[in-house]
Amino acid sequence: MSERYTQAYDVYKQKIEQAMRNMIPERPETFQNGHVPALLAEAMRYSLLAGGKRIRPVLLLATVEMLGGSAEEALRMAAALEMIHTYSLIHDDLPGMDDDDLRRGRPTNHKVYGVGQAILAGDGLLNMAYEWMTDNALRYPDHAVRHLRAIHEIAVRAGVTGMIAGQCIDLVSENMEPDFERLRYIDWHKTADLLTAPLLAAGYLCGADDEQMKALETFGQNIGIAFQIDDDLLDIEGDAALLGKATGMDAKMGKMTWPSMAGVEEARKESKELWDRAREALSLFGEDAWFLREFADSLSRRKY
Amino acid sequence: MSERYTQAYDVYKQKIEQAMRNMIPERPETFQNGHVPALLAEAMRYSLLAGGKRIRPVLLLATVEMLGGSAEEALRMAAALEMIHTYSLIHDDLPGMDDDDLRRGRPTNHKVYGVGQAILAGDGLLNMAYEWMTDNALRYPDHAVRHLRAIHEIAVRAGVTGMIAGQCIDLVSENMEPDFERLRYIDWHKTADLLTAPLLAAGYLCGADDEQMKALETFGQNIGIAFQIDDDLLDIEGDAALLGKATGMDAKMGKMTWPSMAGVEEARKESKELWDRAREALSLFGEDAWFLREFADSLSRRKY
């Protein structure tokens, strides 16, 4: 990666971390009106501020800047995307869902705070995402419609025809007969939708034209599915210490994945093709897409 | 109740039921892009269309009409409020939360669909509320800022300083020493916030002035806490068959309630005072508040 890319990524990441810390203050009063209860705030911060690459918010900020928009105006929407991602992880880890004990190298939320508080921490992060996105939109009344379009796109991608649909089908498909149509649906919605959301939200915020929206969607969907296939490959070949979670879980849970169905070699080939297709979609933006191009290069080589 | 009131309530209710049915179609395709998976749709419909008084959406539509606004423009926001209410019930009933088997006379969502799908059905309804409110707002671009204000108010009241804060403190307060400050906080946030939300959202949609907003908030908060105290009284004195759920649960769970702490008589007196204070707040609106006035009369005498 170029130094320019590494530096830009770090700046985005620091802004996002700071915004998220500000959104859930560290020492709130216990049950005082207008404050987040201390226990709830702690449970939300535990998962939200646990590190991670912050891929979705970085994608939003970088795409907004690529399109000539203001990263400042998009910052709290970026943090909200990470909140939605984090809530989905907390709920995915619960008993009745994947029932995981470890996430990013630490005990999962419900292992620390109990199932009830973990459910509420997840609900709280999801709802808070919309609370902050609408609050942010009200600071830019001249862009109210642009913000509404972006928030709506995020809601659709996160929702019952998007990420939640993917989680639902993923959950009922354990130990089922392998089926590529089903697998494509799960990867598309469970993973790719929330990676496409920041790209399209950026497009709406900046008033992108139809051709640009189409290119952003193609980029998002291809990196999204490639990302999931790479995840499945890492579950087979990855280093549990680097990943911060146990490997071999997909096989144990009887999950349908690309490598389990088509074999590791075929899955690697498919992933490479998807990354290539994603890069091609960027040609429309020329040199302005330098960050997204390096982003794809970097992600396609990740080891965790 | 006057015939005019009963008829108006029925019309509101029918519109709301219809809007909710349309929002989650009955026979969606299984894992087809752009559709809600059949199982997820069924689990959401099971709880959302289980009947009930539809108090929150009726309050929104009636208040919008009282302020001279369009009920049509507010209809999908009304349905969204009921979605938020329903998601909170599904999650409240889960093991790790209240662990209830019965709701509105039927098995709770997780008893029918399993814990995992019930978590997703709740997440789906919460997220869908924002999906539809933003979609609706985009149909009225001239009112984009008004809609954003209303959606934001709903998000705050439903969120981590509102309803979810109340649920969090409620959950950790089981079997604690009785404490009126704590009890007030729980009633205020767990119940009153989501009953105040439709009143303030209506105010924002219709561009109400500060004095009107204050009166709407006072009405909402007072009926909200009165409603909760009445609920607690019904848990002691009510008819389980009429209520559609087991009574005596608060005592069993060691929940702090007004009647358990101050006695039944004192709780009745407090409730009456709150209903009276709510009615007083309506004087600002004169005869236009006829529906809200009868609404308070009717709710204050409910038996289930």
Residues A119, B91: C-beta atoms closer than 8 Å: yes
Q: A208 in contact with B at a CB cutoff of 8 Å? A: no
C-beta separation of A151 from A158 below 8 A:
no
Distances (CA, A) of A200 to A16, A61, A293: 19, 12, 17
Query: What one-character DSSP code corresponds to residue B57?
Result: H
CA distance A5 to chain B (A): 34
Is the pLDDT at A4 greater than 80, yes or no? yes
B97 has a chain A CB within 8 A of its CB: yes
Q: How deeply is B4 buried, as exposed, middle or buried, from its count of CB atoms within 10 A (0-12, 13-18, 19+)?
A: exposed
- Residue A101: predicted pLDDT: 93
pLDDT band at B28 (very low <50, low <70, confident <90, very high): low
Q: Looking at per-residue confidence, does A15 or A181 come out higher?
A: A15
CB-nearest partner of A164 from B123, B138, B141: B123
Looking at chain B, the whole-number percentage of residues with pLDDT higher than 70 is 99
Q: Give the residue-averaged pLDDT of B140-162.
A: 98
Return the pLDDT at A30.
64
ipTM of the prediction: 0.96
> What confidence score (pLDDT) does residue A47 get?
97
DSSP state of A28: P
Distance of CA A156 to the CA centre of its chain: 14
Q: Report pLDDT for A28.
A: 63
pLDDT tens digit string along B154-177? 999 999 999 999 999 999 988 888
| Token pair listed for B20 | 């909710």
H-assigned helices in B34-162: 38-48, 55-66, 71-92, 109-113, 115-138, 144-158
Q: Does B114 touch chain A (CB under 8 A)?
A: yes
CB-based contact B140:B160 (threshold 8 Å): no
Is the CB of A181 less than 8 angstroms away from the CB of B31? yes
Q: How far is B282 from chain A (nearest CA, A)?
A: 25
**pLDDT mean over B124-142:** 98
Helix H or strand E segment including A107 = strand A106-107
Chain A touched by B91 (CB under 8 Å): yes
Q: What is the DSSP letter of B207?
A: T
| CB neighbour burial string for A217-254, b if at least 16 within 10 angstroms, e if fewer | ebbbbbbbbbbbbbbbbbbeebebeebbbebeebeeee
For A3-299, the fitting CATH number among 3.40.50.10260, 1.10.730.10, 1.10.600.10, 1.10.287.70 is: 1.10.600.10
Q: Where are the domains of chain A?
A: 3-299
pLDDT the model gives residue B81: 98
User: Is residue B5 scored above 90 in pLDDT?
Assistant: yes
Each residue's pLDDT tens digit, B211-268: 999 999 999 999 999 999 999 999 998 887 777 777 888 888 788 899 988 999 999 9
CA–CA gap between residue B250 and residue A32 (Å, rounded): 24
Closest-CA residue of chain B to A163: B124
**From the CA of B8, how many Å to the nearest CA of chain A?**
32
CA-to-CA distance for B163 and B187, rounded, in angstroms? 9
Question: Residue B242: what pLDDT?
Answer: 78
pLDDT(B108) > 90: yes
**CA distance linking residue B292 with residue B290, whole number of Å:** 6
Q: What rounded mean pLDDT belongs to chain B?
A: 94
**Alpha-helix runs per DSSP H in chain A:** 3-23, 38-48, 55-66, 71-92, 109-113, 115-138, 144-158, 163-172, 180-186, 193-205, 210-237, 240-243, 249-253, 258-262, 264-281, 290-299
Q: In this predicted model, what pLDDT tens digit does every residue of B171-226 receive, in sequence order?
A: 998 888 888 899 999 999 999 999 999 999 999 999 999 999 999 999 999 999 99
Q: Which helix (H) or strand (E) holds B172?
A: helix B163-172
CA distances from B67 to B61, B82, B211 (A): 10, 21, 13
Residue A70 has pLDDT above 90, yes or no: yes
Identify the pLDDT of residue B256. Answer: 84
State the average pLDDT over residues A105-123: 97
CA angle B180, B182, B188 (to 5 degrees): 95
Phi, psi for A98 (deg, rounded to 5): -80, -15
Give the pLDDT of residue A129: 98
Residue A151 structure tokens: 């928030």
Model-level pTM greater than 0.80?
yes
Helix (H) or strand (E) holding B266: helix B264-281
Supply B149's token pair.
């204000």
For residue A85, the one-letter residue type is H
**Whether B148 contacts chain A with CB within 8 A:** yes
Probe site for chain B from A90, A100, A148 (most B CB atoms < 10 A): A148
Q: Which of A57-61, A101-105, B29-33 has the highest mean pLDDT?
A: A57-61
CA dihedral B257, B258, B263, B265 (to 10 degrees): -140
Q: What is the mean pLDDT of chain A?
A: 94
What is the torsional sign of CA A46, A50, A56, A57? positive
Mutate to test the interface with B, among A48, A92, A98, A123 (most CBs of B within 10 A): A123
Q: How many CB atoms are located within 10 Å of the residue B286 CB?
A: 8
Which tokens hold the place of B255? 């929940």
How many Å apart are CA A34 and CA B247, to the nearest integer? 32
Please indicate whether, in this complex, the C-beta atoms of B122 and A127 are within 8 angstroms of each other: no
pLDDT at B29: 64
CA distances, A41 to each of A22, A44, A134, B157 (Å): 12, 5, 20, 16
pLDDT at B67 exceeding the cut of 70: yes
Report residue A178's pLDDT band, with 50, 70 and 90 as the boundaries: confident
Side-chain half-sphere CA neighbours of B271 within 13 A: 25
Query: Mean pLDDT over residues B134-140, rounded?
Result: 98
Over the stretch A206-262, which tens digit does the pLDDT of each residue have? 999 999 999 999 999 999 999 999 999 999 988 877 777 778 888 887 888 889 889
Of residues A173 and A88, the one with the higher pLDDT is: A88
Dihedral sign for Cα B51, B52, B58, B60, please: negative
Mean pLDDT on B96-124: 95
| Of A35, A97, A138, Cβ closest to residue B152 | A138
